[in-house]
Amino acid sequence: MTQLLCPSMMCADFACLEDEVERLDQAGFDIFHMDFMDGSFVPNFGMGLQDFELVRKTTAKPVDVHLMIQNPGRYVDKFAALGADIIYIHPEADQQVTRTLARIKEKGKKAGVAINPGTSAESIKPFLSLVDYVLIMTVNPGFAGQNYLDFVEDKILDFVNLKPHFDYEIMVDGAISPEHIKRLSRLGVKGFILGTSSVFGKDRTYQEIEKELRG
């Protein structure tokens, strides 16, 4: 199974963000992952709209947006207009989940649900026919540099077992190391959101890192 390697731009060097995007693009990474936070749904603030616009204009690769915010449906039209290819929402943050997912698709975008470590697969099952991607958080959302939560792998297997009945890809986000990529790929995970555990802050080029991760 071909992996989707998705650098988390929250972890990039913001002093030279455009250069970071160009080098990651040339290295062969697949999707640029953008985190947006409101300080309410998660206790932190993420990237800004200008950051998104810069990344979007710098690459022709897909760009996703992970809305870690209350009432994400209010921002679907905005991010669709800015050029997001995939829009992730947290069901816990939206009182009209099916409406929001339908709106994402009406805009011609891929719809995704992002799932916190404490959220069960069973509670997400009613929405699975509406989504293209299931993003499983392997850390508590909101901060980079956390430890990987091993117990979440049981939930990953739940979604692997449900997958034959639906049409989605499984993604994971949070402290994803090269070892996690190898093991989770074997379990059936398609895509990996990559931060400081595998891509950023290393003493190798992005080309070298990308090749090693594909290995």
Write down the number of H helices and E strands in the chain.
Answer: 8, 8
Residue 35 among the catalytic residues = yes
Of 30, 64, 94, 173, which one is the catalytic site residue?
173
Radius of gyration of the chain (CA): 16
In a domain, 102, yes or no: yes
Structural domains in the chain (count): 1
In a domain, 207, yes or no: no
pLDDT of 144: 66
For 183, the domain range is 4-190
Q: What is the pLDDT of residues 68-78, one digit of tens each?
A: 999 999 999 99
Between CA 146 and CA 158 the distance in angstroms is 23
In a domain, 209, yes or no: no
pLDDT of 157: 97
Nearest to 166 by CA among 193, 123, 133, 119: 133
In a domain, 59, yes or no: yes
Of 25, 35, 51, 132, which one is the catalytic site residue?
35
Residue numbers of the chain with a pLDDT score lower than 50:
none
pLDDT of 142: 63
Domain CATH code at residue 55: 3.20.20.70
In a domain, 202, yes or no: no
In a domain, 137, yes or no: yes
Cα dist. 4→37, 61, 69, 169, 209 in Å? 23, 12, 25, 10, 14
In a domain, 205, yes or no: no
In a domain, 204, yes or no: no
